[in-house]
Chain A
Amino acid sequence: MKKTFQGRVVTAGTAKAEALVSHGGFNTLASFQTPMLLGDKKVRCSDQNNPDLYQKSMLGKALCLPETIGSTTGGMALYTVCATGKQPACLLFSKHIDSLAAAGAILAAYWTDANMPVVDKLGDEFLNTVKDGMTVEIKEDGIVEISDE
């Protein structure tokens, strides 16, 4: 199965990675704080309130999310994981990006060498279709292709 979605480019780039899906809001600080503090090489999600992601590795994954929630350290946390090479492959949002994720993505794009393209406004159907383990490919123009190959 292959399906294509059109989103909006927040920070440009291309990526191909395995999908990791959260249906609830992604709490950036709660998710990254323990792997950052403990130097977890797999960057396993430490947010016990997120049953979709808790203890799953986020490193190099295509994180598929509705939006991010929680502390305003969220953008700073995203910037730091990018600056230290511990970032997901990309962030894909079904909704309009929120201010914290946008800040993190933009700080990473302007102040680090990391490649972490971010696309938003992919729609509810995207999040309903994409499943953990599917292959996600982002093209330059905000087109996101998912497949179960």
Chain B
Amino acid sequence: MLLTKEQQDVLNGSRGETMAKVMQTLVAYGDAFDAERLVPVTSEYGHTVISFGLGIMKPVYELYDKILSENEISRQRFSADPRPVDKKNVPANPVQNLLFDIMYSQQERYEEQVRRFGILSDDAYTCTCYLPQVGNTPKRGDILSWAESSAVVYANSVLGARCNRNSGIIELMGSIAGLIPEFGLLTDDGRKADWIVELKTSTLPDAQLFGSAVGMKVMEKVPYVKGLDKWLGTELNDKVCAYLKDFGAATASNGSVGLYHIESLTPEAVDFGESLIREGAPVYVVDDAEIERVKNSYPCIWKDLDAKPKLCFMGCPHMTLSQLVEWTDRVEDTLKAKGRSKVAIPTVFTAAPAVLKAFGETMQSERLRRMGVHTSSICPLMYMNNPLCKSMPVITSSNKLRTYSSARFYPEAEILDMITG
């Protein structure tokens, strides 16, 4: 890799031993992909996937202490993934709460570290940092040093920013150095489509199932999706962006997709069309039968498959404002039709603190509360990651949550029916 004199000096220790090691790490990361140079991070803000102070992750916090001890902080302020615990708003029994205290024994330590590194605010904890209410929305062409698979795929695909699927720790090192190696999705060639996905379903497919199908098929490659504009139109409005958020998260959790193009919809597909597709790209046809096959392939690790669900999580990734509003109306209408006033299963809708604040100003907010639905900015995945919650029958419409936990997946229509009794 060709380094500038300034970069070489840092590598040689001009900013101390630890910063030299940070630079060595970034250079080695680039070398693994034959990157030729480091490029400046140009986005206004960063985003880190690490939001939790897990006792077992002490080596991570020790590494961060080492960096902070040399007074190195992020060159850009940043947001972080959602917090792991919300005792106030998410149902949990005293034993579960005690377990959270033990598991997340490093939470205060970690939050103090990110304050020193430069987190935007104590409310900047969400996986949907790119939503307008949160304000960490990169511009098209911005170079990012982000991690969080669902945010990276959204930033690349829907916003047209440029970011590789960086790992936790690496992303913060990129923000500290203000540099990231140039390879993969940072390059024009890396953004070309390797697969064509032809959607031939009879209705708009569930975003999570469709994304899961695409992720499992194309893995780390870039898909160019045809036929979705038939159902979503050609305008990136709130509803479409929410669909693409959930679609992308599923492509990234069941595969490792970092960028997708949607014909006539996402910015690069609109500008460059089929010229984005590599010659000889294979075609994957997704029809009703394929969606059904994917749904039926999901394992369920509940001990009692007929157990009555004790909790429902919606919002992994966090819900958008329009999703909160729409789901309030859907739950209300369905409850009315069933002659009920409250949900039958304890249900939590999760969203960014700033989105929940905006939702609080809508008419739907109080109505949702009256129906017994909780709202929180927790990370459902972190909530589920312990033996007590793992043994609970929890349902979700999130493919990401079901991938990383014992939560059982149901498509949105079935979730709506279940939570309304």
Binding site for B on A (CB under 8 A): 10, 25, 27, 29-30, 33-34, 36-39, 48-49, 66-76, 79-80, 83-84, 97-100, 102-104, 106-107, 109-112
Number of interface residues of B (CB under 8 A): 46
Residues of B287-346 at the interface with A, using a CB-CB cut-off of 8 Å, are: 298-299, 301
B residues in contact with A109, CB < 8 Å: 28
- Provide the bound-state CA to CA distance between A98 and B219, in Å: 11
A-B contact pairs, 21 of them (CB 8 A): A25-B219, A37-B103, A37-B386, A49-B403, A66-B219, A67-B219, A69-B254, A71-B149, A71-B253, A73-B50, A75-B167, A75-B168, A76-B57, A79-B59, A98-B220, A99-B29, A100-B256, A102-B32, A103-B169, A104-B167, A110-B25
A residues in contact with B404, CB < 8 Å: 29-30, 33, 70-71
- Provide the bound-state CA to CA distance between A59 and B298, in Å: 27
- Provide the bound-state CA to CA distance between A100 and B256, in Å: 10
* A25 and B256 contact, CB distance less than 8 A: yes
In this complex, what residue of B is CB-closest to A82? Answer: B59
In this complex, what residue of B is CB-closest to A112? Answer: B59
- 16 more A-B contacts (CB under 8 A) besides A10-B32, A70-B404, A111-B25? A37-B56, A39-B56, A49-B299, A67-B219, A69-B215, A72-B148, A79-B59, A84-B56, A98-B165, A99-B167, A100-B167, A103-B29, A103-B169, A106-B25, A110-B25, A111-B63
Binding site for A on B (CB under 8 A): 21, 24-25, 28-29, 32-33, 49-50, 54, 56-57, 59-60, 63, 103, 147-149, 152, 164-171, 184, 215, 219-220, 252-256, 298-299, 301, 385-387, 390, 403-404
* A25 and B169 contact, CB distance less than 8 A: no
- Provide the bound-state CA to CA distance between A70 and B258, in Å: 10
Contact of B59 among A27, A29, A72, A80 (CB under 8 A): A80
- Provide the bound-state CA to CA distance between A109 and B184, in Å: 22
A residues in contact with B59, CB < 8 Å: 79-80, 83-84, 112
B residues in contact with A69, CB < 8 Å: 215, 219-220, 253-256
A residues in contact with B169, CB < 8 Å: 75-76, 79, 103, 107
* B385 and A33 contact, CB distance less than 8 A: yes
- Provide the bound-state CA to CA distance between A100 and B171, in Å: 11
In this complex, what residue of A is CB-closest to B171? Answer: A72
- Provide the bound-state CA to CA distance between A111 and B418, in Å: 48
* B253 and A38 contact, CB distance less than 8 A: no
In this complex, what residue of B is CB-closest to A38? Answer: B387
- Provide the bound-state CA to CA distance between A103 and B256, in Å: 15
* B60 and A70 contact, CB distance less than 8 A: no
Contact of A72 among B32, B149, B215, B403 (CB under 8 A): B149
* B165 and A100 contact, CB distance less than 8 A: yes
* B32 and A97 contact, CB distance less than 8 A: yes
A residues in contact with B299, CB < 8 Å: 48-49
Nearest CB of B to A24, in Å: 9
A residues in contact with B54, CB < 8 Å: 37
* B253 and A25 contact, CB distance less than 8 A: no
- Provide the bound-state CA to CA distance between A30 and B148, in Å: 15
User: Which of A25, A30, A49, A104 has most B Cβ within 10 Å?
Assistant: A49
- Provide the bound-state CA to CA distance between A27 and B215, in Å: 12
In this complex, what residue of B is CB-closest to A103? Answer: B167
- Provide the bound-state CA to CA distance between A97 and B398, in Å: 28
* A72 and B167 contact, CB distance less than 8 A: yes
* B49 and A72 contact, CB distance less than 8 A: yes
In this complex, what residue of B is CB-closest to A106? Answer: B28
A residues in contact with B103, CB < 8 Å: 37
B residues in contact with A102, CB < 8 Å: 29, 32-33
Nearest CB of A to B5, in Å: 23
Contact of A74 among B50, B164, B167, B403 (CB under 8 A): B167
If A30-B404, A49-B403 touch, does A110 touch B170 (CB 8 Å cutoff)? no
If A48-B299, A103-B166 touch, does A68 touch B256 (CB 8 Å cutoff)? yes
- Provide the bound-state CA to CA distance between A89 and B165, in Å: 25
Nearest CB of B to A76, in Å: 4
Contact of B167 among A30, A73, A110 (CB under 8 A): A73
Contact of A99 among B25, B33, B252, B390 (CB under 8 A): B33
If A76-B167, A84-B59, A100-B167 touch, does A70 touch B25 (CB 8 Å cutoff)? no
* A37 and B29 contact, CB distance less than 8 A: no
- Provide the bound-state CA to CA distance between A84 and B167, in Å: 19
